[in-house]
Amino acid sequence: MNYFFDKYKLTIFAAVILIVSFLPVIAQENNSTSQEQLSNEPTSNNQSDNSTANQVTNQITNQTNLPQNDEIRLLFAGDTHFLWGVKDQQNRKGIFSPLAKIKPLFDSADYRVINLETVISAEGKSINNKTYVFRSEPENLNALRQLGVNTVFLANNHTIDLGAEGIKQTIQEMKKSGIGFTGLGLTEAEAITPHIAEIGNIKIAFYSVNLIGSKDTFAIGNQPGTGYITPGFYASLKAVKRLVNYVVVGVHWGKEYEVFSTDDQRDLARTLLRNGADAIIGHHSHVPQGVEIIDGKPVIYSLGNFLFGSANYQQTDNLIAVIQVNRKTMKLSGIELMPVTGQFRKTGYVLDIPSIEDRSLFFEEMFLMCRKLNPYQKITVDDRMAKMVIQP
């Protein structure tokens, strides 16, 4: 059985929840280090917010006939590609077979977003000497549609693996699929354009930015690449905030296989929140990291993987998060955290809900990671060990 960090094994988790929910956990040693690519908050802005708002041209997806509940449920899942073991599973059992068991969980949400970490293209060659080059066939977008995925984050360090031509093909295939996307473009203006979804009568903007890689892979000016944190990005964020009800920013950041977020990540999270973000969804580390609520707004530092074809010995079970937002106030009601199988070398490349024993261990460790970020967070786990809930 794989743990996030072996030194924190709790004997009776339920008892700890009851006791520690009223007491701060002693802060653990923070072993995070700084990340060079993190951008500072702008001190001035030469771009007009209004002109930036007028450039927002991504499609608006109308979600009709939604039940008029008090809350909107936004589901987020982590790093996804369709290579190696995933492709082998698809060849044996069909293109949707890795995802079929997890569909009921996706069906429980009003809107669903993943980090799609691959070029989508029928062919192509790498433009550099990267060790890992990710390219998935366009037919895999049909599997995502069948799962119910509405939008994908594309700002990461693998959607640029085939250069400008791969970016162009990925954008073309995304448009054909009807799935919303954000975070990739042939220019900076394209890459930092949000996808705006209309869910009932609520407008939600989704941004995607990447902080992993060299600057020649970021869309800056007329350079193709991924969304990046630039003055133009901040101008867009502030302008779009006035046009919509809620803003989500997906961020590709942090260190691989590190369970604790860095101080730089936490500083950047606060900067993004000050500049218009209502929720921050992190990915890249390939393992889950902690979750905290800052001034009533959720920050998920990493979801870990979702569907990933490797067999790395550092794999853990991963995180699916549902952010619940009150329809009337557009304030956070709570965050539901649910584990999904991710130890693919043991379970095969079929996503599922872990056993109750594995869920118990997962929640023990997630509880400690979240309490390290904020000792006073209200955290509960349901009786069936199905989900952990963090409330503001």
Cα 245 to Cα 73, 84, 140, 229, distances in angstroms: 14, 40, 32, 22
Q: Tell me, yes or no, if the pTM score tops 0.95.
A: no
Q: Collect all residues with Cβ–Cβ distance below 8 Å to 26 and sequence separation of at least 6.
A: none
Nearest to 141 by CA among 166, 172, 165: 172
Count of CB atoms situated within 10 Å of the CB of 350: 17
Residues of the chain predicted below pLDDT 50? 1-3, 5-37, 39, 44-48, 50-54, 57, 59, 64
CA atoms within 13 A on the CB side of 183: 31
Domain of 101, CATH number, reads 3.60.21.10
What pLDDT shows up at residue 40? 56
pLDDT tens profile 20-62: 343 333 233 333 333 444 545 665 444 445 444 445 545 455 5
Residue 126 lies in a domain: yes
DSSP for 303-364, written as a single string:
B-EEE-----TT---EEEEEEEEETTT--EEEEEEEEE---HHHH-S---PPPHHHHHHHHH
Query: How many structural domains are present in the chain?
Result: 1
Residue 264 lies in a domain: yes
**Residue position matching structure tokens 């802005």:** 45
Q: Residue 118 has what DSSP assignment? A: S
Pull the structure tokens for residue 40. 């500072």
Residue 234 lies in a domain: yes
Residue 56 lies in a domain: no
Domain holding 234, by residue range, is 66-391
pLDDT tens profile 281-333: 999 999 999 999 999 999 999 999 999 887 777 889 999 999 999 999 999 99
pLDDT tens profile 66-84: 556 799 999 999 999 999 9
Residue 61 lies in a domain: no
Q: Residue 265 has what DSSP assignment? A: H
Residue 36 lies in a domain: no
Residue 41 lies in a domain: no
Residue 184 lies in a domain: yes
